[in-house]
Amino acid sequence: MKRIFAIPFVAALLGAGVVVAVLAIAGDLGSNSSRTVTIESSAPLAPSNASSESRGLTPHDIYVRDAPGVVFVTSTIVKQSESPFLFGGESQQQQGTASGSGIVVSASGTILTNWHVVENAVKVTVSLEHGKTVNAQVVGKDPSNDLAVLHIPTEGLTLHPLTLGDSSKAQVGDPVLAIGNPFGLDRTLTTGVVSALQRQITAPNGFTISNVLQTDAPINPGNSGGPLLDASGRVIGINSQIETGGSGGGSVGIGFAVPINTAKSELPQLEKGGTVRGAYLGLTSLTIDESLAPLNLPVKSGALVQSVQSGTPAQKAGIHGGTLSGQIGGEQVAVGGDIIVGIDGKPVTSSEELGTVISAKKPGETVSIELRRAKGNGSYEHKTVKVTLAPRPNSVENPNTPK
């Protein structure tokens, strides 16, 4: 299986107008043409415990009410790249068009979308209902959570903000709906259920996004940035990525949405402009479970530190990475490193949980990390270290970490 950012391609014109190329980027792409709205399912939704007040609402009811609050985002992107047609590795600009979806969150012109929809954009436009198109400004971004906030002028417009729900109340099996612009088919509705909770996906800059919702509601290129709605029509996620099988680039029934609670916590800062940068520890780790039993570790759960990046809070606090290399189940594992078992008095049972705890912190916060450290004679000592977290760097090369 191959996980992608729901991105088929960007049509690009290379410098001097002599070559037409295809430029793949981390964005949702599709046609700019306006098409007839497609409703792929109209079966009644059975409300869950999390949305019991929605009894009687059908997908059509929710679509009629909420579709006007979903916009079509089109980005003109420019990216520098080396040209195979020029000597000396000279760089040139590639220009193309990327498209995705967006969510109206305020009547004052605030639009929420994915960062990868507008990344590298030199111009962004937003198409509203009835074909009205306006220029948009990117006012705030958080690449580490794949979020961006746009602002559009509201003069002469009547916007329809969507209600933001509570993603923490979502349960597996809850009915959900997705509205977006897959392959340029504006305001398409699909339905499904919440398939799983607390998934993790990789942001465009390589950091891990936690507490992600998985759904089988069909999501395709062009849906990115659009809403995942509960049975009351409240936004519980921002559709961001899909899993693909084989050589295809379309939906196979496994989609991922950034939880709306993550966006809600950042919206005030994003609306003020600038870049939101989460907390950063600066290490890679591996979940301790039964698969690591051959290592005879002193705990049955936790995060085994694999490596510590130079100059990071983890290194400054003296956290140790593995110094020996071994193979477990055909995978390379660094052994001998610290084992993280708790933060601020609360247990850490996995690498994923470590990432979730750190992502919930703010740069500048000091945390107490509880460790088990190898003494070199087969025994381990208990240690607690204080770590002052730093702002995340712009990107990481290893998509699995650092935390």
Catalytic positions: 116, 146, 224
C-alpha count within 13 angstroms, C-beta hemisphere, residue 385: 20
C-alpha count within 13 angstroms, C-beta hemisphere, residue 348: 29
Residue partners of 8: CB distance under 8 A and separation at least 6: 29, 30, 221, 249
Give 87-143 as a 3 state SS string: HHHCEEEEEEEEEEEEEECCCCCEEEECHHHHCCEEEEEEECHHHCEEEEEEEEEEH
How far is residue 158's CA from residue 31's CA, in Å, rounded to a whole number?
26
**Among candidate residues 154, 138, 198, the one with its CA nearest the CA of residue 172:** 198
- The answer, yes or no, to whether the previous bond of 402 is cis (omega within 30 of 0) is yes
How far is residue 329's CA from residue 265's CA, in Å, rounded to a whole number?
40
Per-residue DSSP letter, 39:
B
How far is residue 30's CA from residue 350's CA, in Å, rounded to a whole number?
38
Supply φ then ψ for residue 240, to 5 degrees. -135, -40
**How many angstroms from the chain centroid is the CA of residue 243?**
13
How far CA 69 is from CA of 41, 110, 279, 290, 316, in Å, comes to 19, 11, 32, 47, 47
In the chain, the largest separation of any two C-alpha atoms, in whole Å, equals 75
Instruction: Identify the helix (H) or strand (E) that includes residue 358.
Output: helix 351-359
- Judge whether 178 and 226 are in contact, CB under 8 Å: yes
User: Computed from CA positions of residues 387, 389, 393, 398, in that sequence, does the dihedral angle turn out positive or negative?
Assistant: positive
**Among candidate residues 209, 269, 265, 212, the one with its CA nearest the CA of residue 237:** 212
**Among candidate residues 70, 74, 183, the one with its CA nearest the CA of residue 123:** 74
- Judge whether 193 and 174 are in contact, CB under 8 Å: yes
